[in-house]
Structure 1
Amino acid sequence: MKKPAIFLLLFLLISFEIFSQDSVSSEVKSTVVKNGIGLGSVIAAILSWERNKSILFVIISGLLSWLYVIYFAITRKADEKK
């Protein structure tokens, strides 16, 4: 996949999350904010840093969390399978 297509896909996913309808109760929001970042975000950030060495990619992959982890598992290179 070409880089512009990946960036467009990431942009669409992030903008969908940002502009989605706010239908979650405030109790759920406060629980999510109180608990902090999740395991998927941490794994995605580590994998992204090991592959790209870019802070921007770490932030984007942390926001996408498990989606990036699945993408990494599908597209990993031979030297990353150790």
Structure 2
Amino acid sequence: MKTRLTLLFLIATIGLAFGQETVETTTQTIYKSGIGLGSVIAVVASWDRNRSIFWAILHGIFGWLYVIYFAFTR
């Protein structure tokens, strides 16, 4: 359990640190998106439940929708 939480924390930290760049100007803010936190959590939860790369990728695409589903059905 501790290993899973550590892995989840590391993936989330990496995703937040390197997944998004922001460029601010006086009139607008531009976001270049990478992988989001919802996708990271969805992939880890899917892998924990299914042990399948296909399902992990698919659930990562759905992101927060799968995280909410996972929380209700767990």
> Normalized against structure 2, the TM-score is what?
0.57
Partner of 2:46: 48
- Measured on the aligned residues, the alpha-carbon RMSD in Å equals 1.7
Give the letter aligned to residue 64 of structure 2. W
In 1, Cα distance between equivalents of 2:39 and 2:46: 10
In 1, Cα distance between equivalents of 2:61 and 2:68: 14
Q: Which runs of 5+ in 1 are unaligned?
A: 1-29, 77-82
Partner of 1:57: 55
In 2, Cα distance between equivalents of 1:35 and 1:75: 29
In 1, Cα distance between equivalents of 2:46 and 2:35: 16
Q: More helix per residue: 1 or 2?
A: 1
In 1, Cα distance between equivalents of 2:52 and 2:34: 22
Partner of 1:71: 69
Residues matched between the structures, number: 46
Partner of 2:21: none
Q: More strand per residue: 1 or 2?
A: 2
In 2, Cα distance between equivalents of 1:35 and 1:68: 20
Q: Which runs of 5+ in 2 are unaligned?
A: 1-29
Q: Percent identity?
A: 62
In 2, Cα distance between equivalents of 1:57 and 1:45: 8
Report 1:15-54 matches (<5 A). Answer: 31=31, 34-54=32-52
Runs of 4+ in 1 over 4 A off after TM superposition: none
